Amino acid sequence: MSEEVLVSVADGVLEVTINRPEARNAMSKAVAEGISAAMDRLEAENDLRCAILTGAGGTFCSGMDLKGFLAGEMPIVPGRGFGGLTDWTPKKPVIAAVDGFALAGGMELALACDMIVAHTDAKFGIPEAKRGLVAGGGGVVHLPRLLPRQLAMELALTGDPITAQRAYELGLVNRVTDGPAIEAARALARTIAENGPLAVAASKAIIRDSWLWDVAELNAKQGPYIAAVFMSEDAREGATAFAQKRKPEWKGK
């Protein structure tokens, strides 16, 4: 894996760090491939319960590396999109820990994660229009689903950023912290990692996939997602641990 992406593991949480601080962590092809490879590891290793995606040097990601773009490089992984994450999602949760700027593709990358924790001084925006471009990594299609249309329009057409607090008020950010975003993200990740992994994965899948379901089919369509969970060893272990007033020992099966 490229040194432009650093990976570490602690307490069942995979931490993935974009390591191009000299370029404000602008997305290169190598970084996109590194993030994609890290997500493969998240999927493959049963002991990993969730991931945190962050940036080195006080910035999350300033978007596409325009120097690379001018040289003909696109920071996209086939089938996975910008940064290896905007066109798909792993089964396990991914938390974005945002310090500094999450701009253009950087904001789209954060939105591709399942949750966002941000430092109070962080800024979010899709300034592509200021550069004659369009936020094609999901910004102009996902923001209207997450925000009132008028607010999505403002972000896309002005290109102006918003603060972490404003993003929190709009429901784009889960938590705002005065300390490093990674610390608050670790606390959130630890809480998730303590829960049943099958239940977490099924819950994530239903929340994401149900965006496309007809309202009349919601209860029926979730059935296949949860049937295996209720029949699992983990479900029995969870109930037994509760009765015995102890911490459950999850097996992921």
pLDDT digit string, tens, across residues 68-119: 777 878 899 999 999 999 999 999 999 999 999 999 999 999 999 999 999 9
Residues 141 and 209 in one domain: no
CATH number, domain containing residue 237: 1.10.12
130 and 154 part of one domain = yes
| Pair (69, 56) in one structural domain | yes
Domain presence at residue 48 = yes
- Average of per-residue pLDDT across 194-201: 94
Angle of helix 139-146 versus helix 149-158 axis, rounded to 10: 150
Residue 110 lies in a domain: yes
pLDDT band at 244 (very low <50, low <70, confident <90, very high): confident
Nearest 5 degrees, angle CA 195-CA 60-CA 49? 15
- Give CB contacts under 8 A, 24+ apart, made by 224-231: 226/202, 228/198, 228/202, 229/196, 229/198, 229/199, 229/202
Residue 157 resides in a domain: yes
Distance CA 49, CA 81 (A): 23
Q: 197-209 and 218-230 helices cross at what angle (nearest 10)?
A: 170
Tens of pLDDT, residue by residue over 198-229, are 999 999 999 998 888 888 888 888 888 888 88
Select which of 45, 128, 169, 183 is catalytic. Answer: 128
* Catalytic entry in 45, 108, 217, 249: 108
**Residue 249, in any domain of the structure:** no
Residue 250 lies in a domain: no
Q: Would residue 155 count as lying in a domain? A: yes
Does 208 lie in the same domain as 138?
no
Looking at residue 221, what is its pLDDT? Answer: 84
Statement to judge: residues 104 and 207 lie in one domain: no
d(CA 125, CA 98): 13
Task: Determine the pLDDT at residue 87.
Answer: 95
Number of domains in the chain: 2
Same domain, 225 and 145: no
253 in any annotated domain:
no
Residues 6+ apart with CB under 8 A from 17: 5, 6, 7, 8, 54, 55, 56
Query: Same domain for 210 and 89?
Result: no
Cβ distance 161 to 124 under 8 Å?
A: yes
Q: State the chain's mean pLDDT as an integer.
A: 93
183 is catalytic: no
The reply to whether 33 falls in a domain is yes
> What's residue 106's pLDDT?
97
Average pLDDT over residues 16-45: 97
| DSSP state, residue 27 | B
Decide if 233 is catalytic.
no
pLDDT at 253: 84
The CA-atom distances, in angstroms, between 194 and each of 13, 101, 114 are 11, 30, 17
Q: Tens digit of pLDDT for each residue in 139-170?
A: 999 999 999 999 999 999 999 999 999 999 99
Give me the domain span that covers residue 234.
Answer: 197-243
> What pLDDT is recorded for position 1?
53
Looking at residue 2, its pLDDT comes to 64
Q: DSSP readout, 157-196?
A: HH---EEHHHHHHTTS-SEEESS-HHHHHHHHHHHHHTS-
Indicate whether 163 and 53 sit together in one domain.
yes
- The C-alpha atoms of residue 68 and residue 48 are separated, in whole angstroms, by 33
Is the model more confident about 176 or about 232?
Answer: 176
Q: State residue 213's pLDDT score.
A: 86
Is the sign of the CA dihedral 4, 53, 39, 126 positive or negative?
negative
Q: Are residues 165 and 206 in the same domain?
A: no
The pLDDT of residue 246 is: 87
- pLDDT, residue 235, reads 76
Q: Are residues 157 and 234 in the same domain?
A: no
- Same domain for 128 and 231, yes or no, is no
| 231: confidence class by pLDDT, cuts 50, 70, 90 | confident
* CATH, residue 127: 3.90.226.10
Determine the pLDDT at residue 72. 79
Residues 218 and 167 in one domain: no
pTM for this structure?
0.93
